[in-house]
Chain A
C-alpha cells in the first residue's frame, strides 16, 4: 500500500523558514517523480513544486521560485520542501503527492501538514 506521511508544519513568523518532510513507503520511491501541492484554508488546490525521480530536474510555480526548494533523499525514501522567506499568503495545508508514473497526474496523496505564517 502506498503511504505518504508529511511532517514539519506548524506556526512560523513571516520572513522565517520551515522545512517539510514526506516519508514514503509501499512503492519504489526512486522510480517516481514527486510533488508538493498546497491548499489555503477553505480554498482550492495549487501545485507548488515537482522533482524528477532522480532529483536531476525541479519545477516550481512562479510565486515560490527563489524562496522554496524541493529535494529528495532516495536512500531514505523521503521528499522535502525547504520554505524560506515565508509570507502570510503561504499559509496552507501542504500535501506530498506521487505522480502516476506513465502520466504526470498526482495518483497518491499524503494527509497533509498545515503551515501557518503569522506574527
Chain B
C-alpha cells in the first residue's frame, strides 16, 4: 500500500502570507496527487488534481507542484476563508489520504 506523509500537521499564518504544505508518497505516484480543503463541519472539496491542475471554481491563489514522491500545495495571499484542514491524496494505486494539515490564522 502507498503511504502518504503530510507536513506540517498544523500551521499558523497571517492574512496575506504565502503558505506551503508538503506531501510525500512512499513510492513514485506519477503525479496522481490531489489536494482537498475541508472547512470545519463541512465535507471536503477538491482543489487540485494531477498534482497541478486547478479544479473548476477554485481561486488561482491555490497552486500545486511536485513530481515523483514529493508534492506541495501553495496558497498565495492567505485569506480568512482559507482557514481549514488540507489533505493530500494519491490515486495512482487505489486511494490513500495524507494525515491532514490544520491551517489557522495567526
Q: Which residues of A contact B (CB under 8 A)?
A: 35, 37, 44-47, 50, 59, 61, 95, 100, 103-112
Q: Which of B44, B89, B94, B96 contacts A95 (CB 8 A)?
A: B44
Say yes or no: A45 contacts B43, CB within 8 Å. Answer: no
Say yes or no: A44 contacts B43, CB within 8 Å. Answer: no
Of A59, A95, A100, A108, the most chain B CB neighbours within 10 A belong to A100
Say yes or no: B100 contacts A44, CB within 8 Å. Answer: yes
Main secondary structure of the interface of A (DSSP, over half): strand
| Nearest CB in chain A: distance from B85 CB, A | 9
Q: Which of A46, A59, A112 contacts B43 (CB 8 A)?
A: A112
Query: Does B91 belong to the interface (CB within 8 Å)?
Result: yes
Say yes or no: A46 contacts B91, CB within 8 Å. Answer: no
Query: Does B74 belong to the interface (CB within 8 Å)?
Result: no
Q: Which residues of B contact A (CB under 8 A)?
A: 34, 36, 42-46, 49-50, 55, 87, 89, 91, 94-100
- Given contacts A95-B44, A105-B89, are A47 and B94 in contact (CB under 8 A)? yes
- Given contacts A105-B34, A105-B89, are A47 and B96 in contact (CB under 8 A)? yes
Say yes or no: B97 contacts A46, CB within 8 Å. Answer: yes
Say yes or no: B43 contacts A111, CB within 8 Å. Answer: yes
| Nearest CB in chain A: distance from B9 CB, A | 10
Say yes or no: A45 contacts B49, CB within 8 Å. Answer: no
| Nearest CB in chain A: distance from B22 CB, A | 16
Of B43, B46, B97, B98, the most chain A CB neighbours within 10 A belong to B43
Chain A residue at minimal CB-CB distance from B98? A44
Say yes or no: B95 contacts A50, CB within 8 Å. Answer: yes
Residues of A near B36 (CB, < 8 A) are 45, 106
Say yes or no: A44 contacts B34, CB within 8 Å. Answer: no
